[in-house]
Structure 1
Amino acid sequence: MTNPFEDPDAQYYALINDQDQYSLWPAAIEVPAGWTVAHGPTDRQSCVDHIEVHWTDMRPAR
């Protein structure tokens, strides 16, 4: 079985939480509580690119 977080053929979301932290998330899996979709669904690389551009500080916002 393929790891759903590394499947190059799957669709993904770039998620964001209330601390302005991002996560790459497979679109086939329900978005967890506390997270919202910031980008997607789209290909994995597009989501990774979105996260790299928008998440410039790894520290929580608060």
Structure 2
Amino acid sequence: MTEHQPVTLYSGPITCLERDCDEYFTDNGEDANVDCCSHVTTEQACRECSTELPDETFDPAVPWPCPHPA
């Protein structure tokens, strides 16, 4: 049996998810050392109860904390 564990899901424009947004870079073009730009949102889901698709997205995503008993 697999444990119920949280997984972070990211959503936003594809350019932002691929780190091609201007916010990932300084004015000099160097890495700005940020985890996500302001266009990306995150949410926690239960890895065990959510369905992972071949493209590594989850649909449907069961929110974390998981409502199902362990």
Please report the TM-score for the alignment, with normalisation by the length of structure 2. Answer: 0.28
Please report the TM-score for the alignment, with normalisation by the length of structure 1. Answer: 0.30
Larger Rg: 2
